């Protein structure tokens, strides 16, 4: 085998047909390059099938990295890895630690792959392999959606709300300026008659349309959650001041002025919003949810289709049990 590699690396002799047949038949995308010039000597059929590029399309490893590695950080990392191996003095075989990269297919699509390789120092030869992770990523995304998405609306669920909150609290430890966040609890008004008179299919369609209106009312990084039924929660983070949250509350109220069109029917459904502010009203997620719920409950009794902040004095005054507990 040694003389086969030596002839191939030198480029002055024809590579044994049997070796090429074996490499071409391997089911894993494979390429190899000579060192230290980085010239790509061969790619197999599995490589062409995975990425669409024919043998000879790229002259060097640098060409391959520049033309197909989509992410700039991944390009930089890959080039550093290869340069260290190419310039290193050594004997025997050095394995390249696996790392994930995004590769641009010849048709423009993106292929997620796990990149591995070995350097044969004695022959100044590097062999790289690429494992297509597309199916694995699809499965991971599907599982993620099952675990973290509301199946009806596509919104996040309570698990995501907790994750986002935990992440926000972790950021608090690294910031010098105070962290301000708000929690909005939304309950639909006049939703029950929709299911009673128009059926659950119409109700489901309303909920999907509600999800769209809520997304359009918030900022890109805000988290919109369906808690269940016709109840939604929105987590607003990185607030400069309280007025930012107030503008979003008003946008949500305005978003429900127009009726919904479902199955040819015009249906009016409103939304009442209760809001709580971190750290002013509470310092943990459960207490913020409770505060927002109290504000929502007060608004549902007195002024539907509107919004209000949690007010400790009002909640105590309107709750005889709580009033007795604090007296």
Give catalytic residue positions. Answer: 230
Residue of 34, 37, 29 lying closest to 15 (CA atoms): 34
Q: How far apart are CA 249 and CA 235, in angstroms?
A: 12
Burial 57-83 (b: 16+ CB within 10 A, else e): bbeebbebbeebbeeeebbeebeeebe
Q: How far apart are CA 56 and CA 43, in angstroms?
A: 8
What phi and psi, each to the nearest 5 degrees, are found at residue 140? -65, -40
Sign of CA dihedral 296, 300, 305, 307: negative
What phi and psi, each to the nearest 5 degrees, are found at residue 162? -65, -40
Burial 219-234 (b: 16+ CB within 10 A, else e): eeebbbbbbeebebbb
Q: How far apart are CA 64 and CA 29, in angstroms?
A: 14
Residue of 122, 120, 19, 105 lying closest to 68 (CA atoms): 105
Tell me whether residue 154 is exposed, middle or buried, using C-beta atoms within 10 angstroms of its C-beta: 0 to 12, 13 to 18, 19 or more. middle
Beta strands in the chain (DSSP E): 30-34, 40-43, 93-104, 110-120, 125-132, 181-189, 223-228, 231-236, 260-262, 265-267, 270-278, 307-309
Is the Cβ–Cβ distance between 55 and 43 less than 8 Å? yes
Q: How far apart are CA 144 and CA 159, in angstroms?
A: 11
């Amino acid at each position: 085998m040694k003389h086969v590699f030596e002839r191939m690396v030198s480029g002055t002799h024809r590579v044994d047909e049997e070796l090429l047949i074996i490499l071409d038949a391997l089911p894993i995308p494979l390429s190899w390059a000579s060192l230290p010039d980085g010239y790509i000597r061969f790619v197999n059929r599995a490589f062409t099938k995975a990425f669409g590029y024919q043998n000879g399309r790229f002259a060097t490893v640098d060409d391959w990295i520049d033309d197909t590695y989509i992410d700039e950080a991944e390009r930089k990392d890959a080039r550093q890895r290869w340069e260290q191996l190419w310039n290193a003095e050594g004997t025997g075989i050095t394995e390249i630690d696996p790392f994930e990269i995004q590769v641009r297919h010849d048709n423009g699509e993106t292929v997620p792959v796990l990149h591995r390789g070995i350097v044969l120092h004695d022959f100044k030869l590097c062999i790289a392999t690429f494992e297509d992770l597309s199916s694995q990523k699809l499965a991971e995304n599907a599982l993620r959606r099952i675990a973290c998405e509301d199946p009806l609306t596509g919104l996040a669920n309570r698990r995501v709300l907790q994750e986002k909150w935990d992440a926000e609290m972790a950021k608090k430890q690294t910031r010098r300026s105070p962290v301000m966040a708000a929690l909005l609890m939304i309950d639909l008004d006049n939703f029950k008659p929709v299911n009673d008179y128009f059926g659950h299919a119409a109700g489901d369609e309303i909920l999907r349309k509600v999800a769209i209106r809520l997304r359009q009312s918030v900022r890109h990084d805000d988290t919109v959650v369906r808690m269940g039924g016709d109840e939604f929660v929105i987590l607003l983070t990185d607030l400069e001041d309280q007025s930012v949250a107030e503008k979003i509350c008003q946008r949500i109220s305005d978003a429900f002025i127009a009726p919904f069109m479902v199955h040819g029917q015009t249906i009016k459904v409103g939304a009442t919003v209760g809001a709580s502010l971190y750290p002013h009203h509470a310092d943990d997620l459960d207490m913020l949810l409770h505060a927002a719920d109290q504000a929502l409950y007060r608004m549902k009794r007195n002024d539907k289709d509107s919004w209000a902040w949690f007010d400790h004095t009002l909640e105590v005054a309107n709750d005889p049990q709580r009033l007795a507990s604090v007296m």
